[in-house]
Amino acid sequence: MTMPALARLFLFLGALACLLAVLLGAFGAHALRGKLTADLVAIYQTAVQYHFWHALGLLAIGIVSLYLPTSAPLKWAGWLMLAGMVIFSGSLYLLAITGARWLGAITPIGGTALIASWALLAFAIAKAG
């Protein structure tokens, strides 16, 4: 049986995102130990936590795509989840590592994309009947 392209794409991206979340979590726990202030460590940990949850969300979108392989809302949910993860967690990773507080202004853009992605996932499932 051939896997639908949309499912394969988001399952692959979700698996890569999980891999990266583990690597960045380990990097933060070991390589950054003692190099960041307590508030920057908390910011980094938030980045890892949101990264991991939304990497799992991409896997969920991939699984749902097995059943809804042509769903446009589902496709948008996946792309918004990926973009939101990169923007939200990415800005927090960079803020924690560089201390550049202006990056915090970018973070809500990623958060908005993450919220929209979950809403679209719910809509795609509800629309499927």
Domain range annotation of the chain: 5-128
Helix axes 72-98, 5-30, angle to 10 degrees: 10
- How does residue 33 score in pLDDT terms, banded at 50, 70 and 90? confident
Mean pLDDT of 64-79: 97
pLDDT digits (tens, 9 = 90+) for 81-100: 999 999 999 999 999 999 99
pLDDT in the model for residue 81: 98
* Residues in CB range of 96: below 8 A, 6 or more apart: 28, 32, 36, 40, 41, 43, 44, 47
**129 secondary structure, DSSP code:** -
Contact 115, 83 (CB under 8 A): no
